[in-house]
Amino acid sequence: MHPGTREALLVDAPALAEALASPSPPVVLDVRWALGRPDGRDAHRAERVPGSVYVDLETELAGRGEPADGRHPLPAVADLQDAARRWGVRRGRAVVALDDVGGLSAARAWWLLRWGGLDDVRLLDGGL
């Protein structure tokens, strides 16, 4: 699959369900975050993709910087690696990130994991 193709970036719900039922299911990261509702833990507890892991954008996908660094500065690489290990991310295992705001917060997880060297990271097309 060419890295620029739609299938290299997105996975639809039926394909995700099939992958979750396979012997090597992907790690599913639930990155629900929005202005005014930065903590999506309650939403994740109430309704989620089976086996998904909640990822806190504020504390796991952003560093702690100075106010001049912006709202969500990049996390330190070691902090991102530690968080990814807690989520179950491993080389050779696919990752799917999702949210409920059109992909905005899930895309941050996608970008950071790609930046960190993982190749098989996709977004759930359409989110929850």
Domains in the chain, ordered, with CATH?
6-124 (3.40.250.10)
Here the tokens at position 15 are 């394909």
Here the tokens at position 65 are 């910087």
SS (H, E, C) 29-88: EECCCECCECCCHHHHHHCCCCCCEECCHHHHCCCCCCHHHCCCCCCCHHHHHHHHHHHC
Residue 1 has a pLDDT of 43
74-102: per-residue pLDDT in tens? 788 899 999 999 999 998 999 999 999 88
Q: Is 8 helix (H, G, I), strand (E, B) or coil?
A: helix
Phi-psi map region of 19: left, alpha, beta (phi>0 left; psi -120 to 50 alpha): alpha
pTM: 0.88
